[in-house]
Amino acid sequence: MMRLLITLLCLVSPLSAAFAVGPPLAQKPLLLQIQRLTDLLRDSQAVGYPNATMAQAIELQSGRQLVLAVFTIEGFGGGNNHSQFLAAFETDTETKPTHYRLLDVIKVAGKGWRGIEKLNARVLQAPKSQDIRVEIDALEVGPDDPPNFPSIKTVVRLVISKGRLTEIESKSSP
């Protein structure tokens, strides 16, 4: 009986851990928007990786809410590769369920380039221009790194201006 219980626990523990992993902001309307973006950005062989989705809601000065989401698409061309994209949404928190209006989406990382492991964006809104600066910590692939194991700390800097996302610079640190 004890062996059966131990065997059952060994089988159930990894499964419960797998089901516990998920997007930090797992609201169904946001996940649906990300799935739509994935369908638009992927090729015929690539697929989304929903368990790697990260999202962060940020209150802006104007009373608006900005939601940033990093999501992963893997297997382009049937290969062993992946890309991470950053999507910026504005929300209308008055509607139920919350509506996520896409501002823009941009590729921010991928195999052999850099990776974002945790979305902890810092945002600064310019009072006069309404531009929004976004900084995200990331890791870049160094000369001695395998393609999927970046080790050089960097900061990805972007600006949202007139509803468009643009990378303005990246800053690596030794």
- If one compares 93 and 85, the residue with the highest pLDDT of the two is 85
Is residue 66 in a domain?
A: yes
CA distance 73 to 41: 8
Strand partners, 100: 91
129 alpha carbon, distance to own chain's centre:
26
Is residue 19 in a domain?
A: no
Is residue 20 in a domain?
A: no
Is the pTM here over 0.85, yes or no?
Answer: no
SS3 state of residue 147: coil
Is residue 9 in a domain?
A: no
Is residue 96 in a domain?
A: yes
Q: How many domains does the chain have?
A: 1
Residue 57 phi, psi dihedral angles, 5° rounding: -95, 135
Q: H helices within 21-162, ranges in order? A: 28-41
Contacts of 174 (CB under 8 A, 6+ apart): 152
CA distance 34 to 12: 30
Predicted confidence at residue 126, as pLDDT, reads 81
- The token duo for 12 is 């159930």
Q: What is the pLDDT of residues 3-45, one digit of tens each?
A: 433 443 344 333 333 233 334 455 888 999 999 999 999 999 9
Is residue 58 in a domain?
A: yes
Q: What is the pLDDT of residues 116-159, one digit of tens each?
A: 999 999 999 887 888 999 999 999 999 999 988 999 999 999 99
Is residue 18 in a domain?
A: no
Q: What is the pLDDT of residues 148-169, one digit of tens each?
A: 899 999 999 999 999 899 999 7
Is residue 5 in a domain?
A: no
Domain that holds residue 121: 28-167
